[in-house]
């Protein structure tokens, strides 16, 4: 089975990487880019029968820093 974990910085947490992308897009001549947030996408290839609770556990323990990041899990 496959799972797709999305990790984004929480709202209100400064995202310097996104800010750099926004500024670079402006410098390349793209107008109208008002904001950019950059996060991580982690695709997991898991043994069948891995529970969603296990995946949440992986996120809490390793994949996301829950102090500043939020995550969501999508099973495929």
Q: Could you list the residues that contact its own copies (CB under 8 A)? A: 6, 8, 18, 21, 24-25, 28, 30-47, 49-50, 54, 57-58, 61-63
- What's the closest the beta carbon of residue 34 comes to its own copies, in angstroms? 4
For its own copies, give the closer residue by CB, 41 or 67: 41
Residue 25 or 73 with smaller CB distance to its own copies: 25
Give Cβ neighbours of residue 42 (< 8 Å, ≥ 6 apart).
4, 5, 6, 7, 63
CB of 67 to its own copies, least distance (A): 19
Burial of 26-55, coded b for 16+ CB within 10 Å and e otherwise, reads eeeeeeeeeeeeeeeebebeeeeeeeeeeb
């Amino acid at each position: 089975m496959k799972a797709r974990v999305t990790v984004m910085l929480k709202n209100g947490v400064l995202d310097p990487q996104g800010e750099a992308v926004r500024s670079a897009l402006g410098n390349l001549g793209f107008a109208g880019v008002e904001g950019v947030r950059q996060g991580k996408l982690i695709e997991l290839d898991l043994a069948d029968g891995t529970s969603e609770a296990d995946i949440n556990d992986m996120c809490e323990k390793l994949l996301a820093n829950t102090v500043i990041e939020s995550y969501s899990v999508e099973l495929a």
